Amino acid sequence: MLNQNKIAVIIPYYNASKHIISVLEKLPEFIDVVYVVDDCSKEAFPKKTEEQFPKVIYIKHDSNLGVGGATKTGFKYAIKDKIDVVVKVDADDQMDTKYIKSLVLPLIDQQAEYAKGNRFRDFKALKKMPFVRKAGNLGLSFLTKAATGYWNNFDPTNGFFAVKTKTLEQLDFDNIANRYYFETSLIAELYFQEARIKDVPMPAIYGDEKSSMSVWKMPFVFLPKLFKTFIKRIFKSYFVYDFNISSIYILLGMPLFLFGFIYGIYTWWYYSSKAVFAPTGTIMLVTLTIIIGFQLLLQAVHYDIIKAPKSN
């Protein structure tokens, strides 16, 4: 226990027989329970591990559900066992477990409901990060901020996190993805509970494990999901759960901007095809609607940024 709180670690296990022992050995002493969720791994979980590590509870899936599905299984066990805080750690030994305490303490001290690693606060570690991964994470992080509403947090796809089980009890796990979109969809659901997220600076560790997703596939996987998450969040936040000044900005700004943009393209094409200048009034109409619509949408974004849940 840590400060009278029961702490559990969830380890989704898949083809990590070379690393799992090292991960378990590095876990801090204050951890009460370790849920190892075998997600139909092709590499068997090492024998006698449960005897060597008595805190380990081994759980095996009948079918492969992905890292999110395995973690959600761990969540359910933690809720049932009345754990206070759960920490998700990968089985590939690429997460520095000495930072577990730094993740857990903000939750125990009521500073946040969710804490995660941020690999972009350590400049030395950032320089060591592969360029393609760094560029992809930077772009993806910005888009995820807009989609989830957590504008003050960075590195949202970091899978090294801690969360209160009381917060998990309020979530609908069916809305949380089972595979690559797991961390983002989890944060998106936390937004509707107004959960505060704490970023904990830490370096990234890169070993010999390779991601099963190619870099070129990531935009095709994430962009449609991020767009869907963004639309869902805006609709629920400003037109279902609440209606405020930002709702009005969106209702007025979006039609004005789209009208000016679409009508402007049509006007340019129409008068260009006739090789004549567009009337001054038409140009003014297009310009004003684009400018006013854009300014209203900027105000909506500003309000959305201010509204984002913030940790203490």
Domain locations in the chain as residue ranges: 7-238, 244-307
Specify whether the CB–CB gap between 9 and 35 falls below 8 A. yes
Topology of the domain comprising 7-238:
Spore Coat Polysaccharide Biosynthesis Protein SpsA; Chain A (3.90.550)
Specify whether the CB–CB gap between 14 and 39 falls below 8 A. yes
Cα torsion 208, 50, 96, 78: sign: positive
Specify whether the CB–CB gap between 23 and 207 falls below 8 A. no
Which residues in the chain come in under a pLDDT of 50? Answer: none
- How confident is the model at residue 154, as a pLDDT? 86
* Whole-angstrom distance, CA of residue 284 vs CA of residue 302: 27
Query: What is the SS3 assignment for 179?
Result: coil
Specify whether the CB–CB gap between 245 and 307 falls below 8 A. no
Burial of 53 (0-12, 13-18, 19+ CB in 10 A): middle
Beta strands 85-88; 161-164: pairing state: antiparallel
- How confident is the model at residue 97, as a pLDDT? 93
**Taking the model in full, what pTM does it have?**
0.87
- How confident is the model at residue 127, as a pLDDT? 72
* Per-residue model confidence as pLDDT tens digits over 239-297: 999 999 999 999 999 999 999 999 999 999 999 998 889 999 999 999 999 999 999 99
* Whole-angstrom distance, CA of residue 189 vs CA of residue 176: 7
- How confident is the model at residue 250, as a pLDDT? 97
Distances (CA, A) of 181 to 104, 145, 187: 23, 14, 10
- How confident is the model at residue 216, as a pLDDT? 59
Burial of 110 (0-12, 13-18, 19+ CB in 10 A): exposed
